[in-house]
Amino acid sequence: MRHNLHYQLNYFRVTTPKSSLKVRLRVNWVSSLIYPTISVIIFLSIWELLVWFFEVPLWLVPKPSDFLNRFFSDFSIIANHGAATSITIISGFLLGIFVAVPLALLIVSSDFLQRGLYPVIVFLNIMPKTVIGPILIVWFGIGPLASVIIVFLMCFFPILVDSMSGFRAVDSKLFYITKSMGATSWQNFYYIRLPASLQHIFGGMRIGIVKAVEGVMIAEFISSNEGLGFMIMRASSFMDMTLLFSGLIAAAIVALLFNSLLLTIEWLMIPWKHQ
């Protein structure tokens, strides 16, 4: 039986298609955490061993035991900054979605916007966001608002582009059929375009969230007074290596959480992808 390919491929399968939705949801969520956790533990153990073995000084490379210690002892401070960063990410990301998706629909529906507005957006997107940072500080002052805007600018473009291709993905012949049904523009959008484009929009969102996390860190380095990026920057200027590394760990956790959250939402909203 072990030689049977089907058996081997399904060896690690914890759920079957017949498992109830609740079971599959919980197991899916849990298993997407377990595997990365195991590999991280292995990675940290090797790190600890190497630093200890080569007697690397603390101010150069701290051991995982050092900064993990710091992580838990200063947990409330780190968690507060983490919360601030998370709020910034969520705000910028939601803003990105609510601007990019409708705009994508507009551009796709209008030849004029396609030729006039889209190239402008592409051009603006080429500008490095770190350059925009100081300008935003002048306009909005130091604080999370500038960070939110940078997050927005970073995740806006991938969501826009993928939403556009999502809205175009429907065969135009289908609209002949809906026209014969007497469908209004709204019905065409709600019943046909929107569900068809969801897969693409989520693809854009997955790229967008990565860029958003990247953006928030950079933004908080230069233009904020709270958040993980700010905390890391300040730790760096004080050569506080353990706090710095704790900050990096926290940032990685935040990124992982948002990614998992997005994957779960996608899994819930697009059941047909997984049938």
Partner 1 sequence: MIEPANTSYNSASDASSKAIELGASIRASGVTKIYGNHQDAFHALGPIDLEIKSGEFVSLIGPSGCGKSTTLLIVSGLEKVSQGYVEINSEPLSRPISEVGIVFQDHLLLEFRTAIRNVMLQQEIRGLNRKEYQEKANKLFEKLGLKGFENKYPKQLSGGMRQRVSIARALIHNPSMLLMDEPFGALDAITRTQIRHDLEILWLETKKTVLFITHSIEEAVGLSDRVLVMSTSPGKIIDEIKIDLPRPRPAHLGDYPEFSSYSKRIYNIFERLGIYRFK
State the residues that interact with partner 1 by CB under 8 A. Answer: 108-109, 168, 171-185, 187-188, 191-192, 195-196, 198, 270, 272, 275
Closer Cβ to partner 1, 55 or 171, answer by number: 171
Is residue 172 within 8 A of residue 254, CB to CB? The reply is no
CB of 24 to partner 1, least distance (A): 17
Closer Cβ to partner 1, 140 or 175, answer by number: 175
CB of 275 to partner 1, least distance (A): 5
CB of 185 to partner 1, least distance (A): 5
User: Residue 168's closest CA among 119, 124, 201, 120?
Assistant: 201
CB of 105 to partner 1, least distance (A): 12
Return left, alpha or beta for 63; rule: phi > 0 is left, psi -120 to 50 is alpha, else beta. Answer: beta
Closer Cβ to partner 1, 162 or 240, answer by number: 162
User: Residue 201's closest CA among 105, 129, 126?
Assistant: 105
Closer Cβ to partner 1, 198 or 233, answer by number: 198
Per-residue b or e along 112-150, where b marks 16 or more CB atoms closer than 10 Å to that residue's CB:
eeeeeebeebeeeeeeebeebbeebbeeeeeebbbbbbb
CB of 96 to partner 1, least distance (A): 24
Closer Cβ to partner 1, 115 or 179, answer by number: 179
